[in-house]
Structure 1
Amino acid sequence: MFLLFYPLRVIGIVAVSYAVCVALMYELIRRYWPDHPTNLKGLALGGGTVLSLALLVFAYWGWRKIWEVCPKLNEWLFPDLNGRWDMTIHYRKPGGVGEISATAVIKQNWLTMSMEVLAQDSDSQTLAIVPKKDSESGRAQLFYFYRVVPKKTSDGKSEPYEGAASLRFFAEGTKQLSGNYYTSVATDGHFKLVRQ
């Protein structure tokens, strides 16, 4: 989700804000406690350590607590998609069409995101996910690139292949992700995921 914001701008804002806070604290200490032996380097390094730990806690755990307290952030910024999803895969391939049920597990923190899909005949692993907000509708989207690894069953002929999907998040009613996908083995179809 960090990529939704301009990363260099965010890093710059945090760095400049921190430098201003250290300078203000140093000036306040110097002005109101002139006899206090304040070490500017120690103040900056100690504060930097605390800031680094706070940002680490926020990136991996804290943001979800903030989203729970203020659920509007799911709309304003990006939804918390963590968890298990019931998935229906509608497919088209040269031999015909069909439907498969699967389970998707989405793991998301402030810095990374992955979606693993567990189906009867195959599993998939994330190659890359790019979260995005649609500029016109404001709806959350995922551009999902993955590798499917077929389970070696009786035919034993299937080899791993790659795919790409564009999924849109629908928050009204039943929370779901859905969108079309395409694969490197000339199949395509539609994914529909409903949160368990």
Structure 2
Amino acid sequence: MVAIIAWLTLMVVLGVNSSRALLEGIGLTAGLSLTVAIVQFIFMLVFITPAWRTIWRWVPKLNEWIYPDLNGDWDVELKSNFPRIDALLKSAKGDAPPLDFRGNESLLPEFGTYKMRARIRQSWAEIEMELWNPAATGPINESKTLIVEPFRGKGGRHGLAYVFEQANETDVVSDDSKFRGAAWIERDRDDVNVFCGRMWTDRMWRLGMNTAADLRFTRQPSKRLSRRG
């Protein structure tokens, strides 16, 4: 942010100096006070109002150079390890053949795939995100984010780290219907409209059966960025 303000101030100073004769002709003094006023006006217009999103659309590279505009709806896919935890429990009870999780992974159950929807509201002051299960398939009801923290990555691979609280439908007494977790997602190397990462939870942690999942956020088509962004 400091670098942006410094660059903006430099551009304004150059612009004011080059327009000195014109400004003085209309009664304005081309001095420090005018430069500060112009910088403050531009800063407020761009960073306090939603006008910055228009500039980001005009100059898609800003999504890489500074930080991407994440506002809008996203399709979310979770690939959870819960089916493997469930298989281990059945094996331990004798309801299924013995399983060696350190052996051939191809013999283990597939990860459970669940579809969700995310909505992100972003400004220069904060980022808010909500996730829900629109099709009501699988056990997940909703996931409420408690803390969302953006981070900048190398080569424009920026992302989000967040803490969430998830509510599940479950009839199993030993299972947790509500639990918390954390996630880390970053921009895909080849597709600017995709963020990938992983989540971890404290679900059933007292029983040593914490869950985890791969995450894939895909921007909905109406809000997609060009590959230049």
TM-score range, shorter chain: 0.5 to 0.7
Contact (CA 8 Å) 1:140, 1:168: kept in 2 or not? yes
> Shift of residue 159 of structure 1?
3.0
Alignment of 1:155-166 (within 5 A): 155=171, 158-166=176-184
Contact (CA 8 Å) 1:60, 1:110: kept in 2 or not? no
Contact (CA 8 Å) 2:170, 2:177: kept in 1 or not? no
| Aligned partner (choices 147, 161, 166) of residue 148 of structure 1 | 166
Gaps of at least 5 residues in structure 2 are 14-23, 25-32, 88-110, 204-209, 221-229
Number of corresponding residues = 167
Q: Which amino acid aligns with 1:59?
A: I
| Aligned partner (choices 114, 118, 121) of residue 107 of structure 1 | 121
Q: Which amino acid aligns with 2:190?
A: E
> TM-score by structure 1 length?
0.67
Aligned equivalent of 1:81? 70
The SS at the match of 1:190 is strand
Deviations 1:71-104 (A, max 9, x none): 1101111111111111111001221541101111
> Cα 1:159–1:68, aligned 2, differ >3 Å: closer, same or farther?
same
Q: Does structure 1 residue 180 correspond to structure 2 residue 171?
A: no
> TM-score by structure 2 length?
0.59
Distance 1:187 1:156 in 2: 15
Alignment of 1:16-31 (within 5 A): none
Q: Does structure 1 residue 124 correspond to structure 2 residue 131?
A: no
> Shift of residue 53 of structure 1?
9.8
> Cα 1:156–1:105, aligned 2, differ >3 Å: closer, same or farther?
farther
> Shift of residue 171 of structure 1?
6.4
Q: Does structure 1 residue 134 correspond to structure 2 residue 123?
A: no
| Aligned partner (choices 94, 112, 122) of residue 98 of structure 1 | 112
> Cα 1:156–1:63, aligned 2, differ >3 Å: closer, same or farther?
farther
Q: Which amino acid aligns with 1:172?
A: D
Higher share of residues assigned strand: 1
Distance 1:171 1:74 in 2: 14
Q: Percent identity?
A: 29
The SS at the match of 2:70 is coil
> Shift of residue 60 of structure 1?
4.0
The SS at the match of 1:68 is helix
The SS at the match of 2:44 is helix
Gaps of at least 5 residues in structure 1 are 22-31, 33-42
Q: Which moved more, 1:182-191 or 1:125-134?
A: 125-134
> Shift of residue 149 of structure 1?
2.4
Q: Which moved more, 1:83-92 or 1:58-67?
A: 58-67
Cα RMSD (Å) of the superposition? 3.6
Distance 1:184 1:145 in 2: 11
